[in-house]
Amino acid sequence: MADKKIGVYICTGCEIGENVNMEKVTEYIDEECSPAVMKQVPFLCGKEGLAQIQNDIDGEGVNRVCVAACSPRVMWDVFDFGPDVVVDRANIRELAVWSFHDPGLPEPEEDEMSDPLTMMVRDYIKMSVAKLDRKTKPEAEPIELDKTIMVLGGGLTGLTAALDTAETGYDVVLVEKEDKLGGFAAKMYKQTPTKHPYEKAEAPSINELISRVEANDKIKVMTKTSLQLIKGAPGKFKATVKQGDEEQVLSIGSVILATGWKPYDASKLDSLGYGKIKNVVTNVELEQLAKNGKLNRPSDGQPVLSAAFIQCAGQRDAEHLSYCSSVCCMGSLKQAGYIRELNDEAKAYIFYKDMRTPGVYENYYRAAQDDPGIFLTKSEIQEVTEGENGKVLVKVTDNLLGEDFEVEVDLLVLATGMVPTIADEPVLKLGYRLGEQIPDLDLFDGFAD
Ligand SMILES: Cc1cc2nc3c(=O)[nH]c(=O)nc-3n(C[C@H](O)[C@H](O)[C@H](O)COP(=O)(O)OP(=O)(O)OC[C@H]3O[C@@H](n4cnc5c(N)ncnc54)[C@H](O)[C@@H]3O)c2cc1C
Ligand code: SF4
Ligand code: SF4
């Protein structure tokens, strides 16, 4: 590699410039590190910022670039200047400015380097320059990658992923912690329509999918198996799994994470009667009752002749789950059908904030609207109370008609949402990097570190 020529580029965008004494930082770096080039650039990742770096590479012969800006987890593709230019990222945005800027502190000092944030930024840049100065270009060594792929979780997603992977020619190990495959789909009484005209629920097709997986000789199924540890590196992982008392180490190249979801904890929804009123159940519990052929009132086993469904029971609510779970509107349309199946006279009321049935599923929604025993309305729930003889009283404001009304039903179903399994368990158990889990940008509201 040609002689080292280091360029330091300090971004002043993303709140960096206004919180750091840049003059002091550049003075210090100049004195301590003497880079060939040093520039402050507003929005370094923009067209003009990148052009400044490229011009110095082409014109000044800069071949080692310190990008003092945001986390290396973001914009990594933007700050790639080809194989002959070594780039190091001094993460002064997430690790310094965003973490330590305290709006309550006084402005950075003018004449001395006493402001802690400025000192921190200065040190991150100094460390990055030191790294660039000592780095040598690694020589690539061809390594044999493991071609077996581990699918973690044997629900609908894992089964589909395992089959698709096997069909592309790879060997698959499907690891499922329970004794059976299928996940929640195997616990469903019926499934929402998958075929034209998308108007009627169908018998679940999950068993057929399980049979295809079990018959595929490229897929090794391991049930009642738990993942203990993943070590190694991408392409060369060693995954320790435990089946009964026996541990074994699998050589795998990559992992498909398909560990699914858990229902939202309905005990947090006591304002909707859950845990206080016997005949209030969740959508997941109702599915189980229907699957077991016992779709009766939990309080006394009497037949359910009327049921109300409260949509977004916790979802799209800042106090519970901020997001839409995307399946519970379809789920309630299907379950209203279960109630109607029991008795021709049975009635189902669906109270929604919005009905979310995209694409062809609009047909399923229309079919429910055409059913004289299903009543759907956009509404706000005012109160849920216990009535006489085990009845549940649901008071709502109908947002379409602008009227308040009350229904008395045998069963109230809360259409609760889904929480990803990985939200509260270190599922991947990674032993080769800091942290057991892959960083999930969404879990941290876009904060990459
Ligand atoms: C009330 C209700 C009704 C629904 N009805 C329908 C419907 O009719 N049609 C439809 O298409 N969708 C429906 N859905 C949505 C559907 O259930 C999900 O989309 C589906 O379950 C997702 O499958 P999955 O494989 O991602 O997750 P899951 O079904 O949760 O499967 C995950 C699997 O991973 C396993 N696992 C978890 N952690 C680990 C671990 N650490 N190691 C190994 N294994 C692990 C679990 O045991 C499970 O077998 C409904 C959802 C609800 C709430
Ligand atoms: S994203 Fe990074 S490079 Fe772009 S302006 Fe923000 S800190 Fe600078
Ligand atoms: S009930 Fe409907 S709108 Fe509400 S979270 Fe579920 S799918 Fe989304």
Question: Is the beta carbon of 75 within 6 A of some atom in ligand 2?
Answer: yes
Q: What are the residues facing 263 on neighbouring strands?
A: 418
Instruction: Give the pLDDT of residue 4.
Output: 92
Nearest atom of ligand 1 to the alpha carbon of 184: 29
Q: Within 13 Å and on the Cβ side, how many CA atoms surround 405?
A: 13
Residues 111, 173 within the same domain: no
Residues 105, 61 within the same domain: yes
Domain assignment present for residue 371? The answer is yes
Instruction: Give the pLDDT of residue 140.
Output: 82
Question: Which residues line ligand 1 at a C-beta cut-off of 6 Å?
Answer: 152-158, 175-178, 183-185, 188, 191-192, 226-227, 258-261, 283-284, 287, 327-328, 331, 334, 421, 427
Residues 396, 431 within the same domain: no
Confidence of residue 441 (pLDDT cuts 50, 70, 90): very low
CATH number at residue 70: 3.40.50
Question: Is the beta carbon of 306 within 6 A of some atom in ligand 3?
Answer: no
Q: Are 90 and 128 in contact (CB under 8 A)?
A: yes
Residues 397 and 351: their CA atoms lie apart, in Å, by 10
Q: What are the residues facing 89 on neighbouring strands?
A: 67
Domain assignment present for residue 345? The answer is yes
Q: What is the whole-number distance in angstroms between the Cα of residue 312 and the centre of ligand 3?
A: 5
Outline where DSSP puts E strands in 122-210. Answer: 149-152, 172-175
Rounded mean pLDDT of 364-375? 98
Average pLDDT, the chain: 93
| pLDDT surpasses 80 at 348 | yes
Residues 177, 199 within the same domain: yes
Residues 295, 158 within the same domain: no
Question: Is the beta carbon of 122 within 6 A of some atom in ligand 3?
Answer: no
Domain assignment present for residue 191? The answer is yes
Report which of 321, 309, 314 is spatially closest to residue 280, judged by C-alpha positions: 309
- Which strands sit side by side in the sheet containing 246-252, from one edge to the other? 225-233, 236-243, 246-252
> For residues 446 and 9, which has the higher predicted lDDT (pLDDT)?
9
Residues 398, 440 within the same domain: no
- Which bound ligand lies closest to the C-alpha atom of 418? 1
Residues 291, 378 within the same domain: yes
Rounded mean pLDDT of 83-111? 81
Question: Is the beta carbon of 418 within 6 A of some atom in ligand 3?
Answer: no
Q: Which residues contact 318 (CB under 8 A, 6 or more apart)?
A: none
Residues 100 and 66: their CA atoms lie apart, in Å, by 22
**What domain range includes position 241?**
149-259+427-444
Domain assignment present for residue 232? The answer is yes
Question: Is the beta carbon of 315 within 6 A of some atom in ligand 3?
Answer: yes
Q: Mean pLDDT check: name the lowest of 82-91, 258-267, 416-425.
A: 416-425
pLDDT digits (tens, 9 = 90+) for 166-221: 999 999 999 999 999 999 999 999 999 999 999 999 999 999 999 999 999 999 99
Nearest atom of ligand 3 to the alpha carbon of 352: 1
Q: What is the whole-number distance in angstroms between the Cα of residue 422 and the centre of ligand 2?
A: 29
> For 433-437, which contacts have Cβ atoms below 8 Å and span 24 or more sequence positions?
none
Residues 255, 163 within the same domain: yes
Question: Is the beta carbon of 36 within 6 A of some atom in ligand 3?
Answer: no
Residues 348, 406 within the same domain: yes
Domain assignment present for residue 307? The answer is yes
Strands 172-175 and 149-152: what pairing?
A: parallel
Question: Is the beta carbon of 45 within 6 A of some atom in ligand 2?
Answer: yes
Q: Mean pLDDT check: name the lowest of 161-165, 266-270, 444-448.
A: 444-448
Domain assignment present for residue 140? The answer is no
Q: Which tokens is 311 given?
A: 């949509």
Domain assignment present for residue 139? The answer is no
Residues 303, 385 within the same domain: yes
| pLDDT surpasses 50 at 379 | yes
Residue nearest to atom 2 of ligand 3 (CA): 329
DSSP helix/strand/coil, 48: helix
- Which bound ligand lies closest to the C-alpha atom of 336? 1
Confidence of residue 137 (pLDDT cuts 50, 70, 90): confident
Residues 154, 130 within the same domain: no
Residues 32, 103 within the same domain: yes
Residues 63 and 85: their CA atoms lie apart, in Å, by 5
- Which bound ligand lies closest to the C-alpha atom of 326? 3
Structural domains counted in the chain: 3
pLDDT digits (tens, 9 = 90+) for 381-437: 999 999 999 999 999 999 999 999 999 999 999 999 999 998 878 899 999 877 787
Which of 272, 310, 311 maximizes ligand 3 atoms within 8 Å of its Cβ, making it the mutation to test the pocket? 311
Given 103, 134, 165, which residue is the final one in a domain?
134
CATH number at residue 331: 3.50.50.60
Domain assignment present for residue 125? The answer is yes
Question: Is the beta carbon of 43 within 6 A of some atom in ligand 2?
Answer: yes
Report which of 164, 154, 162, 159 is spatially closest to residue 226, judged by C-alpha positions: 154
